Amino acid sequence: MRQMTTMRFALAVLLITGSTGLSLAADPDAPRERGRALAEEHCGGCHAVGRADQSPHPGAPPFRMLDRRLDLDTFAERLRNGLTSGHPDMPTFRFTRQDARALVAYLRFIQGP
């Protein structure tokens, strides 16, 4: 009886974790949406984080043009190591690997022509 209960529990865990993995794989836009949320939360007070908005802070470049100012291929690593700027108003940010990748995925998505 105890072995049967253990097997049912193990099967339930497999089904739950398997379905969670499938739902993440089924939504390839999830990292990009996480990146958008991070940009809005941490950066939107100064930077334009969308495709057409204006930066609230006059000196803050719009995120849709960042690929003209920096290398997006190395930007995730800069975010992880503590992004700093020479601008006195900009705070230092440090992101997890997953959040840094999500933000860069979003930045790539919104880059203008």
What is the CATH classification number for the domain harbouring 106?
Answer: 1.10.760.10
pLDDT in tens, 59-78: 899 999 999 999 999 999 99
What DSSP line would sit under 24-82, residue for residue? Answer: HHH-TTHHHHHHHHHIIIIITTTS--SSSPPPSSTTSPPGGGGGGTS-HHHHHHHHHH-
Q: What CA–CA distance (Å, rounded) separates 96 from 27?
A: 21
Q: Are 75 and 65 in contact (CB under 8 A)?
A: no
pLDDT in tens, 78-104: 999 888 776 777 888 889 999 999 999
Asked, for residue 22, whether it belongs to a domain, the answer is no
Asked, for residue 97, whether it belongs to a domain, the answer is yes
The whole model's pTM is what?
0.72
The pLDDT > 90 percentage for the chain reads 58
Asked, for residue 23, whether it belongs to a domain, the answer is no
Asked, for residue 7, whether it belongs to a domain, the answer is no
Asked, for residue 98, whether it belongs to a domain, the answer is yes
